[in-house]
Structure 1
Amino acid sequence: MRTRVYWLLPDLASARATMEDLIGSRVERRHLHFFGRSDCDLSDLHAANVLQTSDVICSAEAGLAVGAAVGGLLGSVAAVSYPGAGEPPQWSLIPLLVLVGALFDAWTSSMIGISAPNRRLRRFAAAIEQGSILLAVDVPAARVAELEARLQALHPEARLAWSEPGKPSFL
């Protein structure tokens, strides 16, 4: 498991230099995620993707849970209420409707979540709108202190903003 560490950088030049220093410190480019205003050209940086900038993952997880619960409830009602004449309840409907409800609601919720900004990034929205660049670095927990010290020494203009332990590296 990796820890996601967030740094606020004042401008693109600082972001580029920070990226080069981290790559020189054996942090793979794919573990660097840069966020900026929509008018900011992050093409030469490893810009964050839709999984990191939108709320698609959280929305899909919530939809999965709600859909499974609603599917289970509807499956229970259907199993008891609609058996054939003289037949026992159709309990096999419950797992089927749990699965269908979970998948359907995860899909619909993710379609909504893809258009919503990531909730974790709200705390940085004002700084990003003022032109700062947000860098999220996914590093093994054992290297966090080392990389924080390195960045503070090499880039005094950067500000350590937040650390999020236990973050899967694809989010």
Structure 2
Amino acid sequence: MQRLYFLIPDKETTSVIVDELNSMGLTKDELHVVGKDWRPLEKEGVPVASLIQTSDVVNASKRGAIAGAVLGLILGLIAHFMLIDTNIVWITLGMIVFGTLFGVWASTMVGVSVRDVKVGKYDKAIKRGAMLLIIDVPDEQEEVFKNTIKRHHSDVIIDKISTKDQKQNVPEGH
């Protein structure tokens, strides 16, 4: 799946594009809009982007799970060597599970407050009244969607998440 970002100049064009994307087979679960005045679009049935689409919460929880599991493994091994006559398997597994859960919880709390790098890139335009439409499309159909929208709406800016953008979205300290 590819996540595409369409910066659209106004609500009316956004509504037309959403209708076009629906006719091309995209469902409401694959479309999300971000904008200053999104309420009229929501009344038309255009799904509004949630924290999952506009923040770094998903990536942060993945990083937290990995970091927590590694820390749990290390602490489990340390506990085993400090507490003689203990079962290394149960202590280590327990610490890994605890570390993973704690890592997910802690990093999710941080991830909610970190703006998604691509959404943040368009904050100024959104504040001026533009709408950001986020769509998830299958890899093999990415060009079809981009070309169709560009052909009908040349004023729309189309972007997608790149590997560089994903790495750039790591908050300081991680």
TM-score grouping bracket, smaller chain normalisation = 0.7 to 0.9
Work out whether 1:136 is the aligned partner of 2:134. yes
Greater helix percent: which structure?
2
Residue in structure 2 matched with residue 99 of structure 1 by the alignment: 97
Aligned residues: 159
Residue in structure 2 matched with residue 168 of structure 1 by the alignment: none
C-alpha distance in 2 between matches for 1:160 and 1:70: 40
C-alpha distance in 1 between matches for 2:30 and 2:118: 17
Work out whether 1:4 is the aligned partner of 2:7. no
1:64 and 1:106 in contact (8 A); partners too? yes
* RMSD, aligned α-carbons: 1.9
Deviations 1:22-50 (Å, cap 9, x if unpaired)?
Answer: 1122222221111113x542423211122
**How far did residue 163 of structure 1 move?**
5.2
- Unpaired stretches in structure 2, ≥5 consecutive residues: 164-174
Q: Structure 1 pair 112/81, CA: closer, same or farther in 2 (3 Å)?
A: same
1:32 and 1:46 in contact (8 A); partners too? yes
After TM superposition, the structure 1 = structure 2 runs for residues 1-171 of structure 1, keeping only pairs within 5 Å, are: 2-37=1-36, 39-41=37-39, 42-43=41-42, 44=44, 45-83=46-84, 87=85, 89-92=86-89, 93-162=91-160
Q: Structure 1 pair 27/47, CA: closer, same or farther in 2 (3 Å)?
A: same
Deviations 1:81-135 (Å, cap 9, x if unpaired)?
Answer: 012xxx3x53121121011111112112212222332234222222222221111
Percent of aligned pairs with the same amino acid: 26
Q: Structure 1 pair 163/113, CA: closer, same or farther in 2 (3 Å)?
A: closer
1:3 and 1:164 in contact (8 A); partners too? no
SS where residue 8 of structure 1 aligns?
Answer: strand
SS where residue 131 of structure 1 aligns?
Answer: coil
Task: Identify which of structures 1 and 2 has the higher relative contact order when contacts are C-alpha pairs closer than 8 Å and 6+ apart.
Answer: 1
2:80 and 2:87 in contact (8 A); partners too? yes
- Unpaired stretches in structure 1, ≥5 consecutive residues: 166-171
1:4 and 1:164 in contact (8 A); partners too? no
2:38 and 2:48 in contact (8 A); partners too? no
SS where residue 134 of structure 1 aligns?
Answer: strand
Q: Decide which structure has the larger Cα Rg and report it.
A: 1
SS where residue 108 of structure 2 aligns?
Answer: helix
